[in-house]
Amino acid sequence: MASAASTFTTGQRLHEKVCIVTGAASGLGRAIALAYASQGARLVVCADLKPTPKSEFEAEQAGTPTHDVICQRHGQQKSIFVKTDVTIGKEVEALVEEAVKLGGRLDVMVNNAGIGGTENHGMVHEMTEETWDTVMSINSRSVFLGCKFACAQFMKQEPHSSGHRGWIVNTSSIMGLVGQMVYGAAYCASKGAVTLLTKQIAVEYAKHKVHCNAVCPGHLRTPMTQDQFQDREMRTAISALTPWGDEWGSAKDVAQAYVYLASDDANYITGVALPVDGGYCAQ
């Protein structure tokens, strides 16, 4: 299922910024990378375990790797793919080094890679330690590593022309703000950790003019949620919880928030966990 009206608006909101997006092969990460390239980024480094989308569901040009789509649209030097296991510090450090090697600096770090799929692992007393550790490693440890090595680079480079040193945008979730039965304890706890890590880094690095914000998506139509969305009973139950109703958000809808938080329009914003959720958290 391909997304309709999927072309991003072009502009210069990220003019000449060097950006990394983890989990860029599909879903929300792919949408963020395409949006950044459309807004004048000098270089978008797409990081993931594999370059191609996991599914054709809601995927724009599904058979083409994200970095190739960007190069086709915006020029051959505008994007690269770097294979990265975001749970391994040395690989995340190498990812940042590659971005700096090719782009001359790092301006924007999007820590987006993550997993869901814990809805069938039961309540806390039924959940295995392995499930907990895996989810926390991929969803939380990876964000810590991305922030760690991005901040290290920000601290040693000259400020951006705006006077600011760097922008971090982390992917949390509405389940990082409130509890919910669908995804379970490990997912909620991992995203809650992302939310509070974001706030702490914002406080620690504000005096150095480093922004750190998080986006908290609601229920989206992405490969991660394909089974839920196509299960009519589950889709209806989840839709009933959202004021916007049976119209789940698209990755493109949420990607626009990542553009804003990485742009000069957000010069006085840091430490925010921004829900993009059709009103879910307003209840």
Cα Rg of the chain (Å, integer): 18
Choose, from 187, 205, 258, 280, the residue flagged as catalytic: 187
Tell me phi and psi for residue 216, to 5 degrees.
-115, 90
Beta bridge partner(s), residue 212:
168
What CA–CA distance (Å, rounded) separates 178 from 54?
28
Question: CA distances (Å), 51 to each of 30, 47, 63, in order?
Answer: 10, 8, 10
Contact 147, 109 (CB under 8 A): yes
Tokens of 13: 């909101």
What CA–CA distance (Å, rounded) separates 189 from 79?
33
Tokens of 263: 């742009």
DSSP letter (8 states) at residue 6:
-
State the sign of the Cα–Cα–Cα–Cα dihedral 274, 279, 280, 283. positive
For the question of residue 187 being annotated catalytic, the response is yes
Provide the terminal-to-terminal Cα distance of the chain, rounded to the nearest Å.
Answer: 31
Closest C-alpha among 134, 43, 48 to residue 84: 48
H helix count then E strand count, the chain: 9, 9
Where in the sequence numbering do the catalytic residues fall? 187
